Structures are given as structure tokens and as C-alpha cells.
């Protein structure tokens, strides 16, 4: 694995870049953010599996496209792995985000269609998925910004948006899903303020979303995960926008643990609750998210410790309890009835089977 520390970066950067000369994929090591911005190159299949499982790359679209390159690069001449072995190893890295299987299946289809040029076919497909993700997230931003604009036209003041986890550009190639409408609103000069849930235990909100928004100069405030309900009762949230790791064909939304509680509070306070996702996040094979989506359970150490840097900037992990067992469910499912709408690359779609079937026809 090659490592390069980059002192500067820009929001027009992309999160994944393929280098054809070295046949490697450059990623941002997200486990180091916000304290260190470091790009690393993934070369071997084990690098790719480790990067996804350890969450150096995370977020449903980014996991999928990373895996697509991992599968493609495992077809290099003299590779010790067959495509099937690489497919299974990558698929086993994380269970919940459907984009992983979706992207691997796309690469496998490309290989099967062109077996004599399997490597070229696979890399071309991975590059295509990467390019499509940029387009789809930009389109999500354009559809979603209309919702923010409507709120601004009614209220004529800064619009307060609550988000959970990180569904920003770090979770995709560019723009993000839930944050794409927010970036587009900034471009249009619509005043906005974002409430950022810290998102224990991995703190994707505190570490990643807050960092992205700060880099972009978007007003935001970091809050503990339990704060959203209070803010909603006090009229301090105009809308919620979150991402998704897997949405079932009936519109149930699986996303980072804690999303469901925000949706319940939003429903109780008549606050619109939107989910932004590319159609690659929809699992057309399942029609009941609650019973059919596998929920990742990660190591209890993530709950029992808190990570950060000390005053000297040295990374530290502090134990908060060394006596009790801990459970670490990574995701939960928000039933479709609590979702105001799905912001997709094709437009805003109601979260129900009929509307989603109509969307599928267009794909």
C-alpha cells in the first residue's frame, strides 16, 4: 500500500482516482479525518478488503465503487485470485450497503460479456460506475435543492437542515447524497444552517460531515445524537435530509443507526423527512426492509472507546467502560410511512411500492 500525505485539497477533488500507470486506486483514508488528510493507494485485493472493512472508505456509493475497482484489479495478469474469489472476498467485507453487491454484479456482467478482454472490460465498467456516481449525485443535488428553495421562499430566513451520519462527498465520488442539495443551495446563495448529529460510535458526523461543511464554509453546528428531538420540538429544524445504505422496493430506508429515532421525532413534529439516494441503493429483491435487510454488527470496542487527538495532535483512543458488554448495531430501518420522499437522480419519489416500481421502469 502506498501512502502520500497531502497538505491541501479542494472540494472539487474526487474521493477515488484510478491511476492506470501503476494500476492502483487512490483513496482518502477516512479513519484519519478530520485530523489528517492522507491519500493511500490500494493495489492488492487484501488492500481493498481491508479498506472497506476498516472503513478507510465508507458510505454506500463509495464502498460499491471501491469494490468495483478491487474486483477489476484482481484480474491483472498473474493475479493469484479468480474473479469469483475476489467477488466473494469483497462482498463479505460489509453486509448492509446494497451498492456493494450492485457494483460487483455490474463488473461481473462486464467480465462475462467480454471474457477475452476481462481486465479491460472490468476497469472500463468501474470507471463508468465512478463517472455515473458523479452525475447521479449532482442530479440528486439539483432535485433536492428545490425542496430547500421552497422552504426559503415560505420562511425568508436561513433554513435549518438536520442530517445524520455522513452522506456527503466523502461517502460518494463528489457532491454526496444528503449533502448534495445543501452544496447546491450554497451555490444558489440560499442561506442554510446544518445540524450535524455526531453519530456515535464511529462519529461520522463529528469527524466527516462537520469537516466537509467547515471546508465548504457552510454554517453548521455539531450536536449529540440525542439532541435532534428537542430541536424539532422547539421549531429549530425545518427539514431532515439523510442518506441510505439500502432501501427496499416498498420504500423502507436502512441508514446509520439512529436514523429511525430522528424520523420518529420528525413525524411527531410534522417536519419533512427526506432520504437522498441514487437508484443503485435500492434493493429491488426485497419488499420489507424491517425483516429482510441484514444489519451489520461491529466490534463492541467501537462503543467502549472514544477516539480523537490530544493537545499535541497525537491520535488517542480512550476507554469509557472496561466492565460492561456493549452492543454495536451499525444501521436501523426507518419504515416507509415515516419518509416524506426519496430524492433520487430521477427526481423526488414517494416512498412506496407503486412509485418505486414506476422509477424502476425508467432505469
Place of cell 443503485: 280
Q: Which of 245, 252, 283, 332 is catalytic?
A: 245
The CB-of-101 to ligand MRU minimum distance in angstroms stands at: 14
Q: Which is nearer to ligand MRU, 192 or 277 (CB)?
A: 277
The CB-of-140 to ligand MRU minimum distance in angstroms stands at: 9
The CB-of-236 to ligand MRU minimum distance in angstroms stands at: 22
Q: CB within 8 A of 331, min separation 6: which ones?
A: 96, 245, 254, 255, 256, 257, 259, 293, 295, 296
Write out the residues near ligand MRU by the rule CB under 6 A. Answer: 58-61, 97, 165, 167, 171-172, 176-177, 204, 243-245, 255-256, 330
Q: Which is nearer to ligand MRU, 54 or 285 (CB)?
A: 54
The CB-of-323 to ligand MRU minimum distance in angstroms stands at: 27
Name which of 205, 330, 347 is nearest 260 in CA terms: 330
Q: Which is nearer to ligand MRU, 66 or 177 (CB)?
A: 177
Residue with CB nearest ligand MRU? 243
Query: Cβ distance 128 to 328 under 8 Å?
Result: no
CB atoms within 10 A of CB 149: 16
176 grid coordinates:
454526496
Q: What distance in Å separates the CA atoms of residue 282 and residue 9, rounded to the nearest whole number?
A: 32
190 grid coordinates:
440560499
Q: What distance in Å separates the CA atoms of residue 298 and residue 302, rounded to the nearest whole number?
A: 8
Query: Cβ distance 93 to 52 under 8 Å?
Result: yes
Exposure of 81 in the CB half-sphere (CA atoms within 13 A): 19
The CB-of-257 to ligand MRU minimum distance in angstroms stands at: 8
Q: What distance in Å separates the CA atoms of residue 164 and residue 331, rounded to the nearest whole number?
A: 12
CA–centroid distance for 317 within its chain: 24
Q: Which is nearer to ligand MRU, 172 or 248 (CB)?
A: 172
Name which of 247, 254, 241 is nearest 287 in CA terms: 247
Note if 288 is an active site residue: no
Burial of 306 (0-12, 13-18, 19+ CB in 10 A): middle
The CB-of-331 to ligand MRU minimum distance in angstroms stands at: 7
Q: Which is nearer to ligand MRU, 83 or 279 (CB)?
A: 279
Q: Which is nearer to ligand MRU, 79 or 328 (CB)?
A: 328
202 grid coordinates:
464511529
DSSP β-ladder status, 305-309 and 315-319: antiparallel
Positions marked active-site: 245
Amino acid at each position: 500500500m502506498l501512502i502520500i500525505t497531502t497538505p491541501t485539497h479542494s472540494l472539487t477533488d474526487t474521493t477515488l482516482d484510478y491511476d492506470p500507470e501503476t494500476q492502483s486506486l487512490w483513496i482518502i483514508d477516512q479513519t484519519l479525518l478530520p485530523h489528517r488528510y492522507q491519500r493511500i493507494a490500494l493495489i492488492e485485493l487484501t488492500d481493498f478488503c481491508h479498506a472497506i472493512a476498516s472503513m478507510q472508505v465508507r458510505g454506500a456509493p463509495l464502498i460499491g465503487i471501491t469494490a468495483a475497482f478491487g474486483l477489476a484489479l484482481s484480474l491483472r495478469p498473474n493475479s493469484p485470485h479468480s474473479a469469483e474469489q475476489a467477488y466473494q472476498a469483497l462482498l463479505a467485507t460489509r453486509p448492509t450497503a446494497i451498492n456493494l453487491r450492485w457494483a460487483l454484479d455490474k463488473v461481473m456482467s462486464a467480465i462475462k460479456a467480454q471474457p477475452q478482454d476481462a481486465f479491460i472490460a472490468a476497469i472500463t465498467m468501474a470507471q463508468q460506475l465512478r463517472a455515473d456516481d458523479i452525475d447521479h449525485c449532482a442530479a440528486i443535488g439539483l432535485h433536492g435543492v428545490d425542496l430547500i428553495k421552497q422552504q426559503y421562499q415560505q420562511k425568508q430566513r436561513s433554513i435549518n437542515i438536520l442530517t445524520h451520519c455522513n452522506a456527503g462527498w466523502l461517502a460518494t465520488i463528489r457532491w454526496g447524497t444528503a449533502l448534495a442539495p445543501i452544496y447546491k443551495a450554497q451555490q444558489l446563495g440560499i442561506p442554510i444552517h446544518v445540524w450535524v448529529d455526531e453519530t456515535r460510535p464511529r462519529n461520522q458526523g463529528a469527524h466527516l460531515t462537520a469537516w466537509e461543511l467547515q471546508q465548504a464554509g457552510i454554517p453548521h453546528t455539531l450536536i449529540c445524537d440525542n439532541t435532534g428531538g428537542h430541536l424539532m420540538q422547539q421549531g429549530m429544524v425545518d427539514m431532515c435530509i439523510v442518506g441510505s445504505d439500502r432501501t427496499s422496493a416498498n420504500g423502507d430506508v436502512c441508514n446509520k443507526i439512529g436514523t429511525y429515532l430522528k424520523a420518529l421525532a420528525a413525524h411527531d413534529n410534522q417536519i419533512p423527512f427526506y432520504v437522498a439516494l441514487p437508484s443503485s441503493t435500492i434493493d429491488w429483491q426485497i419488499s420489507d426492509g424491517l425483516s429482510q435487510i441484514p444489519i451489520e454488527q461491529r466490534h463492541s470496542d467501537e462503543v467502549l472507546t472514544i477516539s480523537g487527538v490530544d493537545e499535541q495532535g497525537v491520535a488517542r483512543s480512550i476507554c469509557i467502560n472496561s466492565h460492561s458488554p456493549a452492543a454495536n448495531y451499525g444501521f436501523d430501518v426507518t419504515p416507509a410511512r415515516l419518509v416524506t420522499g426519496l430524492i433520487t437522480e430521477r427526481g423526488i419519489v414517494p416512498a412506496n411500492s407503486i412509485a418505486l416500481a414506476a422509477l424502476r421502469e425508467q432505469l
